Amino acid sequence: MQPMQHQMMGYDRTSTMFSPDGRLLQVEYAKKTVRQGTTALGMVCKDGVLLVADKRVTEKLIVADSIEKISQVDDHIGATSSGILSDGRILIEKAQVYAQQHRVSYDEPIDMLSLVKEICDVKQAFTQYGGARPYGVSILFAGVEDNPKLFLTDPTGIYFEYKATAIGEAEVEIKDILVKHYKETITIEDGLKLAVKALRKVLGKDFEVDRIDGAYITTKDKIFTKVSKDKIAKIT
């Protein structure tokens, strides 16, 4: 049965209805939304973990600093999203609340796997509620516990741990670059250079320093730190 026939028969009207071949079309559409979103990537480095993202500042009158593509979740955790960014903001705010509740309850920082599972539980629930649409966003969570870690959560509520990965419109191209050039011994400094180089390649003539957002967490300090615009400018 062709996709158009599925739609004509109404199998894509709600995320609670399976198509005859066992697919949830609304959830699949949500994943396509992520592929149209702004590009973001993360990588685990030998001295920490790194997130770099394209803010896609398309209008000259927009204040670039007002667009927050990478957010702090806790002292030792950061996150970036691709897809419907308002969905991402809501989920990252939930993650911030979970992290603070854990600190208050247990007097220790939350472990990343617990946080990722909490957010994925929310995402999964919205693939089976009638009258509600799935979250159209993928989120990269990066942080440092005993070791640096990077997790990807997608609209279905599935999560994976990665050494390095990308999400968004240039996902395929960026992943190809990471496969060729990423090494587990890479430092945050060299990782930032690789990430900026990759974004420059995929953005082409649209590449600008104001479009790039970056943050890292070192294994030494375990503190979320934003990358300055000057640092990115020097790399480019």
- Nearest CA to 124 out of 91, 92, 97 is that of 91
Would you state the pLDDT for residue 24?
86
Give me the percent of the chain exceeding a pLDDT of 90. Answer: 77
Domain range summary for the chain, segments of one domain joined by +: 37-235
pTM, 2 dp? 0.92
| Rounded-to-integer distance, Cα 222 and Cα 116, Å | 18
Give the sign of the dihedral formed by CA 49, CA 54, CA 60, CA 62.
negative
Count other C-beta atoms under 10 Å from residue 107's C-beta: 7
From residue 108, give the alpha-carbon distance in Å to each of 76, 91, 99, 113: 11, 22, 10, 15
% of the chain exceeding 70 in pLDDT: 96
Which pLDDT score, from 0 to 100, does residue 5 have? Answer: 59
37-235 adopts what CATH topology? Glutamine Phosphoribosylpyrophosphate, subunit 1, domain 1 (3.60.20)
5 versus 133: the higher-pLDDT residue is: 133
* pLDDT bracket for residue 4 (50, 70, 90): low
pLDDT digits (tens, 9 = 90+) for 107-134: 999 999 999 999 999 999 999 887 889 9
Neighbours of 2 (CB within 10 A): 7
